[in-house]
């Protein structure tokens, strides 16, 4: 869900949005305490980001992925370390015996003794190309999970910043609406007095009453929409919807056009972008797969030492206690199967390299696009700021003429609607600038 969607609809005509903050003492929770819904938060933007880094579910899962990759790496390492296994067995023949006729009139009886053996085996992989490459791949996989978690962290920070800015803009809009409502109520009161003295008509009072009703309705709708925006922010921070949140910063703390313009001058290094780094690691993975396929041509060498201790030994025993086994598995002929695997891996590597080059070009193009979007948003903001000033002057002029009886109430309400529309476009222009700036900061891994 995008906060911009509801804010845009709320800003249309008189549907400007606002929000109501519950008052009271608000404190940040102690570190390490999981939110349970009873907390109260007083948050700057940086504090909101820090909270998200601690509790956001996506980032928690990213951390678990890193732990899993680390466990997989150690699993791969362990495959090349000594392996020890032991078996214990016990065999009983239930007192059975066997008589052997040696010659006529001569025989011997052999009794089967119960036996019990303790067998311990120590095995060690001496050489395996697949093991070496597999170990490298496991380490690379862990690095990819770390880089993927870094990307998720940037995404969450961007989402938190966008939500924070949207709520602040809604607050600014609320202030505009409340001031306008106060002005319209005052004008309606004056018009009612003029109607009682016969200077104004009843339709003038009715038109102003309708506008008051629309403004009041817009304020109520704004409170509901902003409550939803707060829920989105809480979700991104990983806290429950029942928690209380108050934002300590205003939009003026962030809206500095000079810094926005200076950010347009930054040079872009594609190798520093997290997506490019992930793609570079993907190329490495494909290269490892080529090496892994080639390693199937090499022999695998292993050794095993076995120690046999007979707890219950038979009367006649020739089993040795100590044995050492060396084995070598030599691949000789696979009817082209190994060659086909190598060719497939090479094709995958070439595909990954092509994707890397494509991403390189796409990121360079995106850098230009994002900067263009920010420049366009700044130009639009400057135009809308001037438009608000003009609309306000026109409204004030019409208001004075209306009090002097020179224009009708329709002219006044039209001027007021135009002023609100100008304010709406101005707020939207501010939102566009901030979203473009946040996207640029995210693109430069600087959010």
Distance CA 189, CA 211 (A): 13
pLDDT band of residue 103 (cuts 50, 70, 90) is low
Percent of the chain whose pLDDT exceeds 90:
61
Confidence of residue 302 (pLDDT cuts 50, 70, 90): very high
Q: Where do the structural domains in the chain lie, given as residue ranges?
A: 3-81+129-297+334-443
On the question of pLDDT at 4 being above 80, the answer is no
Mean per-residue pLDDT, 323-345: 94
Average of per-residue pLDDT across 344-372: 97
Q: How confident is the model at residue 439 (pLDDT cuts 50, 70, 90)?
A: very high
Q: Label residue 319 by pLDDT band (50, 70, 90).
A: confident
pLDDT digits (tens, 9 = 90+) for 18-77: 322 233 333 444 444 566 556 789 999 999 999 999 999 999 999 999 999 999 999 999
Q: Say which CATH topology domain 3-81+129-297+334-443 has.
A: Outer membrane efflux proteins (OEP) (1.20.1600)
Its pTM surpasses 0.85: no
What is the average pLDDT across 335-352? 96
Answer with the residue of higher pLDDT: 367 or 257: 367
Mean pLDDT computed over every residue of the chain: 87
Six-digit token string for 290: 């080529």
- In this prediction, residue 9 carries a pLDDT of 43
């Amino acid at each position: 869900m995008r906060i911009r969607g509801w804010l845009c609809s709320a800003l249309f005509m008189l549907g400007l949005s606002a929000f109501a903050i519950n008052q009271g003492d608000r404190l940040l929770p102690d570190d390490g305490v999981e939110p349970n819904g009873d907390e109260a938060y007083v948050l700057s933007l940086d504090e909101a980001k820090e909270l998200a880094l601690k509790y956001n579910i996506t980032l928690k899962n990213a951390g678990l992925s890193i732990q899993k990759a680390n466990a997989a790496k150690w699993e791969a390492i362990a495959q090349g370390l000594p392996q020890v296994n032991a078996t214990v067995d016990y065999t009983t023949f239930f007192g059975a015996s066997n008589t052997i006729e040696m010659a006529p009139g001569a025989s011997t009886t052999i009794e089967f003794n119960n036996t019990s053996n303790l067998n311990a085996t120590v095995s060690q992989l001496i050489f395996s190309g697949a093991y070496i490459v597999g170990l490298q791949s496991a380490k690379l996989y862990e690095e990819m999970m770390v880089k993927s978690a870094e990307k998720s962290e940037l995404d969450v920070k961007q989402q938190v910043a966008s939500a924070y800015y949207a709520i602040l803009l809604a607050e600014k809009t609320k202030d505009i609406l409340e001031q306008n409502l106060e002005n319209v109520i005052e004008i309606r009161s004056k018009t009612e007095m003029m109607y009682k003295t016969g200077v104004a008509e009843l339709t003038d009072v009715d038109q102003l009453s309708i506008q008051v009703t629309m403004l009041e309705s817009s304020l109520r709708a704004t409170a509901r929409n902003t409550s939803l925006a707060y829920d989105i922010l809480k979700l991104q921070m990983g806290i429950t919807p029942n928690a209380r949140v108050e934002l300590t910063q205003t939009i003026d703390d962030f809206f500095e056009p000079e810094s926005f313009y200076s950010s347009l001058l930054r040079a872009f290094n594609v190798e520093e972008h997290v997506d490019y780094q992930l793609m570079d690691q993907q190329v490495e993975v494909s290269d490892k797969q080529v090496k892994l396929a080639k390693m199937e041509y090499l022999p695998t060498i292993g050794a095993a030492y076995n120690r046999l201790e007979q707890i219950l030994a038979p009367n006649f025993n020739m089993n040795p206690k100590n044995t050492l086994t060396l084995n070598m598995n030599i691949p000789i002929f696979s009817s082209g199967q190994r060659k086909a695997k190598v060719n497939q891996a090479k094709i995958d590597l070439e595909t990954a390299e092509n994707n890397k080059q494509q991403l390189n070009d796409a990121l360079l193009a995106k850098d230009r696009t994002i900067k263009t979007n920010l420049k366009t948003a700044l130009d639009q903001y400057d135009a809308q700021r001037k438009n608000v000033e003009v609309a306000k002057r026109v409204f004030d002029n019409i208001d004075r003429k209306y009090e002097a009886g020179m224009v009708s109430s329709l002219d006044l309400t039209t001027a007021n609607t135009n002023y609100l529309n100008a304010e709406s476009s101005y707020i939207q222009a501010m939102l566009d600038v901030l979203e473009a700036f946040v996207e640029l900061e995210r693109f430069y891994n600087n959010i």
